Structure 1
Amino acid sequence: MIHRTINRTLAVSLFLAAEILYLRTMAPTFSFWDCGEFIATAYTLGIPHPPGAPLFLLLGRLFSMIPFFGDIGARVNLISTLASAATIMLTYLITVRLIIMYRKRDPDLWSPAEKVSAYGGAVIGALALALSDSFWFNAVEAEVYALSSLFTALVVWLILRWYEEEPKPGHERWLLLVMYIIGLSIGVHLLSLLAVFAVALVYYFKKYDVTVKSFALLMVASSGLFFLIYIGIIKGLPILLQLTSWWGFLLFLALLAYATWYSHLHRKALMNTLLMSLFLIIIGYTSYGMIFVRAQAGPPINENNPSSSETFFSYLNRDQYGDMPLWPRRWSTEPVHQYFYQHYSSDLDYFLTYQMQKMYFRYFGWQFIGRENDMEGSGVDWSVLWGIPFLVGVAGAITHFRREWKMGLVVTALFVLTGAALVIYLNQTEPQPRERDYSYAGSFFAFALWIGIGVESIWQWLAKRSKSGVPGNQMLFAVLTVTAGLLFINARMLQANYRVHDRSGNFVPWDWAWNMLQSCEKDAILFTNGDNDTFPLWYLQEVERIRTDVRVVNLSLANTGWYLDQLKNSSPRGAKPVAFTMSDGEIAGITYVPIDSVDAELPSQDARQQLLRNARLHGQSLPSEPLGTMKWLLKPGLTYDGQGYLRPQDIAVYEILMNNFSRRPIYFALTVDPESMIGLQNYLRLDGLAYRVVPIKSVDPMSYVDSALLYRNLVGLYRYRNLNNTAINLEETSRRLCGNYTPLFVRLALELAAEPEGQLTIPDASGKEKIYHRGALALQVLDTSSKLLPLAQYPLNPELAGSVIALYVRLGEKQKSSPYISYLEKLSRQSSSLSDPRLFYVLARAYRDIGRNEDAKRIIVLLARELKQPGLVDEFETMK
């Protein structure tokens, strides 16, 4: 077969294979982090966090209407699978094109061995990217990075097409298409913009002779092109819009159109190409008009409300996030050399160890050397992939420079600028709330090109050392090389990464959001903390229309005036506005307020009466008489330089509490930091995944539990799909959040077991009330927890495991504590000597609870000797 047929067949086959792989491992609904927000804003054509992704939202809206799947989240996830599969196809095509360039021969004239090595190497390189850790992670969820990778690969493929084509009329159409694609990519993510430098290099090598002077001019011109797009268009047009409104923007477009027509009329080719490129980039960039237009309509999710030219400029400029310096800057009068070694040397160490090693090279190692595990903060493990993809890629890079240094420099520019150079620009602070490996997908794509070239170069090396003139030997080496690459690179990567990237059957984000919303009574106000307890709720409310009566208040966004204004003045999906006494002007100007700790009071007569009525209705006894007035110490949420400050979010919580408590239930999500609760910890009732503010003061913070209500939520309402299914893999975020369930079950069991002979009235699903013995319920709760959340899948801290053991013993089911005893014993064996005294103390108490007194005493004696506390033995023996 001719080259074109083989090449296209393999490219399409790779697309289909990658798409099948990603569909099999795709999340069945939305995932954690930004996915719920993106899907919800795509479905409603709302406004996500700055700087937005309008093109992705438009595509998401389109895909949400196509009934491929019943779940809307799965429909939008499909965008990422298709974009990623297309990127793999383009990776293959680009690799083949690069090999053709340095072989400098018509591929139809290649020998069979040359064809096998070239096509096979390109396939291996493309599959290496497809199976790499970060790329696969992005490919199966609704995020912008898969589509951004597609735009990057498409730009590289198009510029290489232009480079190879002989100059003729219409030849520049490839360049113009490249610029349009770059403009479109801005509506997804700015990472694709970094491919501009690779484009500039290809253009330079095509048009100019390489000299020191011309190369220097290239550096200036490529930087100028980048800043023209980034500063002149992405940043500049919003400034123009802000200063002159839409008339200035339209006038600019008119002048640009006239200049383009003028250059065409007078046959000024270079000028016309530049102006047309600029015009096409702006056309692509106009997808951001969707943000401005939809903000005018006031959609349910309207972050920053960019409905005016000023707020639109602020939105595009990411003002919400502030700026981070590129390098820690200090000024001093000390001698330069002394100052450097005392100050900048530490900055340099920090930069090398944190920015470069942890925030890039560690991520790079995950892809092509091996990831230690799927936990956050995991390191690089050479035993996973044996480093073979990395070593083959290095060989490919060396070969590429030796045989075609120009294109080698192009790939290097892409590799560095989307990797190490991007690290310098981002200058990410320590610590980060999550891993940021997805930011460097362009760099991993560039290295995958070298893996494909590396496989071909290994064949070249072997072929040169075979008997000359014997085609059979060359073919044998080609087949062996490609087979070895498929086995030791692709098959090994598939084996190592399949399970950890298989999200089929993972409904944790959906169920987490459902359970949190069901924790709240009608018309509740729910304070949430961050992405993972906010965006999932937005998805259920805006897409699934579930519990739209609950008003979610994100505490991070509550630091901004625009968000508080929306809470006060808007009613999304019929939810009631949140009452404030602050005027709109005061809300718009909300800021940090210096303050010391002060006493706060809240009249709570209405809530008090409601609690008493419910208690009488269900035959419940309250731990104490509900208060007529709640009193607490309002503490500053932030202390800086010895001065306490109320953050805007603290002021918002106080305002919402004072103005809504008597009329609406108010909750804090379980994941909210206690420091964000303005001192209300002693007035909280644990209802499940949320604490409700109640006019009952508990002795210990966050210790009050309504057993009937918590039982109804945990056992009767909550969903736990596939949590105990060992065939389903849950990624680290899902596992970590699911770790919150077991302590809830144990807390409920402790409350029930406090009066094991008592009775509890609980309404069933139909509302009919039933009476249960508290001890029997406690045992049922523990058994349910053990079944839903197996200890092997959801490890417990030792103290919690010890509590479960004590409960089982107290309830007369000592044999059921055996798995927890074994669990503590396993932890003790893994702990070196007595390095964790608390663990061994808990184990000793567990032994005593089940009657193994000699074992308990032996551990306590050893612990007392290790800690040099002989009194510990007597203390343990007298402790109940």
Structure 2
Amino acid sequence: MNFNLWHRVTAAAVFLFSTIVFLMTVAPTISFWDAGEFITAAVTMGVPHPPGAPFFQLIGRMLSLIPFSDDLGFRVNLMSTFSSSLTVLFVYLVSMRLLRQWKGDPKSPISALTMLLSAAGGALMLSFSDTFWFNASEAEVYGIGMFFISIVVWIAIEWYFHIGVFDSERSLLLIAYLMGLSIGVHLLSLLALFFVFFLIYFRDRSKEDLTLKTASLALLLMVVGFGAIYPGIVKYIPELLGGSFGRYFLVIVLGGLITVVAMKKLHPQLRMVSLAILLVALGYSTYALVLIRANQTPALNENAPATLEKLYSYLNRDQYGTYPLLKGHNFDDRTRSINMRKEVYFPRRYNHEHISSYQKYSSDMEYFMKFQFGHIYMRYFLWNFVGRAGDIQDAPVTWFKQEGNWSESQGYPVRFYAIPLILGLLGMWYHFRKDYKTGIATAVLFLITGVGLVVYFNMAEPQVRERDYFFIGSFYVFALWAGLGIYSVVEMFTNKTGRNEAVGLALAGLLFIMAPINMLAQNYQSHDRHYNYVAFDYAYNLLQSCEQDAILFTGGDNDTFPVWYLQYAAGVRRDVRVVNLSLLNTSWYSKQLKNERPYGAKLVGMQYSDAELETLRPVQWEPQRISIPLDQKNFAMSSLEYIPSISQLEQLPAAMSFTVPQTFTDPAGVKGIRIQDILIIDIMNNNFNTRPIYFALSTAPSDRVGLENHLVVEGLAYRVSPIPFQQRGGRYYETVNIETTKKHLLETRVEPDSNRAYGFMFRELDNPEINLDEASTKMIFSFRALYMGLAQVIAQDRGDVESATSVLKKMDEVMPPAFHNFDNSLRTDLASFYLMMGDTTSYREIADELRDWFIPRLDNDDPAQNQGGRSAYVFLLTYYEVTGEYEKAIDLLRRLEAMYPTDPGVQQEIRKFQSLIQGGGTQIEVPIAETETETN
């Protein structure tokens, strides 16, 4: 039996199987959150958010130049796909190395298959775990970051056991270089150094040498060694280079290191350390790309780190502020505020913006254990090895029973029945029993990439999205243990029962099916993204909602990063200037808007000088009226001419006036407005007469400086109007530019146009196999709400039932409700729209299902205290009137009567239904149409 051949074939099979599955489920283009920005940075060689990822960009750039797909986003996504498959391969190789060292090479084919199945099982459990698979299907840094961790762990294990070509100190030098390169992907990869440090300490060391003294010294050297790289090399080299003395100092240090390396007579370990430092610095040199590109002012140039001083700030993430780690100010339970006069150890509740959340906890330790460790880390950990209830924010773990409705998409809940968890715990025990030295090193990696990061990140409640990707390193270690767990179960079973190897192989095969194969089956649908074009199409639709040369204010990552990709990488609507409101609080960004013209786009006019933008700060503010003079002859009207109340004006007013409210309160209780609010007003003053100005529909009302009465819906954006509109208090949109929005929604397209064009894109939303994550589902809701809002306005303002109905039918055509689990509140509104338009057939199709959803809510929600309870009564009374079930309506009203015996409205409704019974019943009054609309 040639076991080495079997081993190589299995390794290839693990890699190919993971790759095939990842290729079948990878996103076909950009996705939400950071992926859009990273792809844009890779394609354009721009500068992404701090602290950057230059080596990631270099690889992504090379992939983007290979024309195997029309979509640049898909090309760069494959970097995560293949790097993740390589990570799975290295998990398998490490597992096999450990098992072969402990058990020797198998003597029979059956024992060989048992060992191979165990190692492959652990690798594939990582492959098909929730967090790892999600990272593998989009262009994020965590896929390639895990590749660096896994290859370093593999090389270190091979070196530790004196295997072949790796039985040389050159392996440690290779690790040093790889760690240097990994800095250019994600700093979390550096945590693998602690695994390496422990193996260096344990290698060839006898039990007698493992004393408290040697261990303490080793730990001290580990901390010093890690500190030499981070923050040493990473942060302090740019800082030192920024000063004249620092430059000379670094030249001296560099010369000394080279001299040490060149002098072969010196102590070999000193030469090794010196060479390792040089190799880390060499790998880290990819950050020169950031400095070079920042000086070339690319379109994407976050923080503009064009000098060494700014590069240090960029690497230090100064833009995001600081937070305490081991000592700092903290929440005071007595005063219910942050105590700025006293510092405490291990502060967890430190952020002024999250005081309402802190009040739920009696102490910092309770906050740490329940939220940071329990809700954040343990919930994510169990998602990967027990099961997940859904993809809605804060979804719980699924053990065996249903945990409620936590998903609007398909594929949930996911259940592994805790089998991977049990196998991982058994594997951890087996590892320590067989080899406590490598067991300790592996456990350190597990703890430092898990609980260690929980302590380090000190996350506040709530988070804007799930953060499970931070802890992928600990999930990687546990999957490795789970593979060892399969082998340990087989070994224990055969040893205790005396069964032969064939039975052990059958047990290994059963566990292989119950763990990795079940994880594949359970997670496949929820991780299949190959029909998901929502991020691309949303960004396209948002840009095409804007007139030529528009200024578009956006609020967060998901309405900015995909738009940047379309503009800078795909070349769509580069005339639109996107202004991200969060970044507008930074001087480097406002100066870019004012002074730079990416791809020829117009400057964003501002009256502030660059020096004034540098010193701009939030100001104390009382709500007051702001007036912007209007150019009555030359105002850029364009699409606003479709609004009757504007087109019918003889002339515009002399000025547009609106009240700017307070938008923030500082820790001292002083209220004011932010830098972004000051600059929105300034941009309005300097551009409103000559260019269309928009806010994305997704922006928060508090970010619109009091302009609500001046906003007109045009597609997926609010256009700012020179005149106010009367607010009607509707659920959807107050004023809609019917003509432009209707063209966008009814004249859909499947191919993007780089220039101004009508027709939105909703690709694959009518595909029954589509699967959407939470962010995509929210965008689908916004698409649907836009259709419904347009239909409502057409019906109410124009009385055109036929056109309104055609809008709703088009909505169901492009995003069929059978393929999307839309929120029941949206479905309730849709049913009401159909009823309002006289289409009782369509109303009944929706309302018959909603009835069964509303009835249980009658027992749970008090209509006086809860909007859900009121909605249930209103809906069911209307439903029973439409269907002629008047007795049921009276029974429902009797329940209300028991709760509110003196309410005259209840008595009036009872009398109405009693008269309907006596009179034989009449058709419910329809506000617009008197007869039912025919439906197909």
- State TM-score, norm by structure 1: 0.92
Secondary structure (helix, strand or coil) at the match of 1:78 reads helix
Cα pair 1:28 1:504 within 8 Å, conserved: yes
Aligned-partner Cα distance in 2 for 1:261–1:281: 14
Q: Of 441, 449, 453, which residue of structure 1 is paired with 2:472?
A: 441
**Cα distance, 1:668 vs structure 2:** 0.3
* 2:857–2:872 CA contact under 8 A, matched in 1: no
1:274 paired to 2:291: no
Alignment of 1:723 onto 2:765: yes
Change (3 A) 1:614 1:666: closer
Distance 1:357 1:623, change over 3 A: farther
How many angstroms does 1:790 deviate by?
Answer: 3.4
Bigger shift: 309-318 or 518-527? 309-318
For residues 727-773 of structure 1, give each alpha carbon's deviation from its aligned partner in whole angstroms, at most 9, with x where no partner exists.
1111111011111122211211111112555xxxxxxxxxxxxxxxx
Find the residue that maps to 1:649 and give its secondary structure: helix
Write the mapping of 1:240-251 to structure 2, written as runs, cut at 5 A.
240-244=240-244, 247-248=247-248, 251=251
1:478-489 superposed matches below 5 A: 478-489=504-515
**Structure 2 residue aligned with 1:712:** 743
Q: Quick one: which of 443, 458, 462 aligns to 1:412?
A: 443
In the alignment, is the contact (CA less than 8 A) between 2:389 and 2:397 conserved in 1? yes
> 1:528 is matched with which residue?
554
CA contact (8 A) 1:237 1:249 kept: no
Which position in structure 2 is the counterpart of 1:162? 159
Maintained 8 Å contact 1:608/1:626: no
* Contact kept in structure 1, 2:179 and 2:189, CA below 8 Å: yes
SS across alignment from 1:438: helix
Q: Cα–Cα, structure 1 residues 808 and 607, in superposed 2: closer, same or farther, change >3 Å?
A: farther
Q: Which one of 843, 848, 857 corresponds to residue 875 of structure 2?
A: 843
- Show CA shifts across 1:392-445 (max 9, x none): 110111111111111111110111111111110111111111100011111011
CA distance, structure 2, for counterparts of residue 742 and residue 655 of structure 1: 34
**What CA deviation, in whole Å up to 9, does each residue of 1:359-385 have, x standing for no partner?**
100000011111112222111111211
Match of 1:352 in 2: 369
| Cα deviations by residue, 1:132-190 (Å, 9 ceiling, x for unpaired) | 00000000100000000000001100111111117999810001011111111110001
Q: Which residue of 1 aligns with 2:903?
A: 870
Structure 1 pair 830–92 and aligned structure 2 pair: CA distance change class (3 A): farther
- Return the alpha-carbon distance in structure 2 between the equivalents of residues 868 and 476 of structure 1: 76
Aligned partner of 1:771 in structure 2 is none
Residue-by-residue CA offset, 1:653-711 (whole Å, 9 max, x unaligned): 11111100000000000110010111111100011210000012112286121211221
Question: Residues 746 and 860 from structure 1, CA distance in 2 versus in 1: closer, same or farther, beyond 3 angstroms?
Answer: farther
Counterpart secondary structure, 2:15: helix
Q: Which moved more, 1:449-458 or 1:697-706?
A: 697-706
Partner Cα distance (2:665, 2:60) in 1: 43
Q: Tell me the distance in 2 between the aligned counterparts of 1:626 and 1:816.
A: 43
| Partner residue in 2 for 1:664 | 691
Q: After superposition, where does 1:505-524 map in structure 2 within 5 Å?
A: 505-524=531-550
Distance 1:60 1:387 in 2: 37
Q: 1:112 aligns with which of 109, 126, 130?
A: 109
Q: 3-state DSSP class of the match of 1:739?
A: helix
Q: What SS class does the counterpart of residue 548 from structure 2 fall into? A: coil
Deviations 1:74-99 (A, max 9, x none): 00000001000000000000001111
Find the aligned partners of 1:612 and 1:4 in 2 and give their Cα distance.
72
Say whether the 8 Å CA contact 1:527–1:669 is kept in structure 2: yes
Q: Does 1:692 align with 2:719?
A: yes
Determine whether 1:294 maps to 2:336: no
- 1:292–1:312 contact (8 Å) kept in structure 2: yes
Q: Offset of 1:867 from its aligned partner? A: 5.6
Contact 1:682 1:699 in 2 (8 A): yes
Determine whether 1:216 maps to 2:216: yes
CA separation of 1:653 and 1:614: change in aligned 2, threshold 3 A: closer
Quote the Cα distance in structure 1 between the aligned partners of 2:570 and 2:325: 42
Q: Secondary structure at the match of 1:548?
A: coil
1:654 matches 2:681? yes
Deviation at 1:325, TM superposition (A): 1.2
Shift of 1:252: 4.6
CA–CA separation in structure 2 for the residues paired with 1:230 and 1:77: 29
Contact 2:635–2:690 (8 Å) recurs in 1: no
Q: Pick from 714, 738, 750: which aligns with 2:780?
A: 738
Are residues 1:228 and 2:254 paired? Answer: no
Per the alignment, residue 151 of structure 1 pairs with 148
1:311 is aligned to 2:310: yes
Give the whole-Å Cα distance in 2 for the aligned partners of 1:496 and 1:624: 64
Indicate yes or no: 2:815 matched with 1:815.
no
- The CA deviation string for residues 443-467 of structure 1, in whole angstroms up to 9 with x for no partner, is 0110111111111111111121233
SS of 1:691 mapped into structure 2: strand
Instruction: Tell me the residue number matched to 2:5.
Output: 5
- Give the AA of the match of 1:20: I
Residue of structure 2 in register with 1:427 after alignment: 458
Give the SS at the match of 2:497: coil
Greater CA drift, 584-593 or 142-151: 584-593
Residues 686, 867 of structure 1: CA spacing in aligned structure 2 closer, same or farther, 3 A cutoff? farther
Contact 1:840 1:863 in 2 (8 A): no
**What is the rounded CA distance, in whole Å, between the counterparts of 2:642 and 2:480 in structure 1?**
72
The answer to whether the 8 A contact 2:636-2:689 is kept is: no
Contact kept in structure 2, 1:860 and 1:872, CA below 8 Å:
no
Deviation at 1:535, TM superposition (A): 0.4
Query: In the alignment, which residue of structure 1 is the partner of 2:409?
Result: none
1:552 aligns with 2:569: no
Q: Is the 8 A contact 1:19 1:82 kept in 2?
A: yes
Q: Structure 2: how far apart are the matches of 1:37 and 1:447?
A: 31
1:831 aligns with 2:848: no
Secondary structure at the aligned position of 2:771 is classed as coil
Distance 2:905 2:453 in 1: 56
1:60 is paired with a residue of what secondary structure?
helix
Cα 1:819–1:245 change in 2 (3 A) is farther
Whole-Å separation in 2 of the counterparts to 1:617 and 1:871: 42
- Identify the match of residue 595 of structure 2 among 557, 563, 569: 569
For the 8 Å contact 1:291–1:306, the answer to whether it is kept is: yes
- Do the aligned residues in 2 keep the contact of 1:159 with 1:202 (CA within 8 Å)? yes
C-alpha contact (below 8 Å) 1:670/1:689 kept by paired residues: yes
Any conservation in 1 of the 2:858–2:873 contact (CA below 8 Å)? no
Counterpart contact for 1:28–1:503, Cα < 8 Å: yes
Q: CA deviation at 1:806?
A: 3.6
What SS does the corresponding residue of 2:552 show, helix, strand or coil?
A: strand
CA distance in structure 2 between the partners assigned to 1:561 and 1:753 by the alignment: 46
Q: CA deviation at 1:224?
A: 1.3
Structure 2 residues without counterparts, runs of 5 or longer: 333-338, 349-357, 401-414, 748-758, 862-867, 913-924, 928-936
Do the aligned partners of 1:798 and 1:839 also contact (CA within 8 Å) in 2?
A: no
Q: Contact 2:393/2:466 (CA < 8 Å) preserved in 1?
A: yes
Q: Secondary structure at the match of 2:578?
A: strand
Distance change (3 Å), C-alpha of 1:123 and 1:607 = farther
Matches of 1:389 and 1:163, distance apart in 2: 28
Which residue matches 2:389? 372
SS at the partner of 2:174?
helix
Q: 1:611 touches 1:626 (CA, 8 Å); kept in 2?
A: no
Which 10-residue stretch deviates more, 596-605 or 280-289? 596-605
Percent identity over the alignment is: 37
Q: What is the root-mean-square deviation of aligned Cα atoms in Å? A: 2.8
Match of 2:379? Answer: 362
Displacement of 1:477 in angstroms is: 2.5
Which residue does the alignment assign to 2:70? 70
Shift of 1:832: 5.7
Choose the corresponding residue for 1:781, options 807, 822, 826: 807
What secondary structure sits across from 1:671 in the alignment?
coil
Counterpart in the other structure of 1:470: none
One-letter code of the match for 1:301?
A: L
Q: Is the 8 A contact 1:667 1:693 kept in 2?
A: yes
Shift of 1:838: 2.3
The amino acid across from 1:697 in the alignment is: P
Partners of 1:460 and 1:825 in 2: CA distance: 56
User: What amino acid sits opposite 1:817 in the alignment?
Assistant: Y
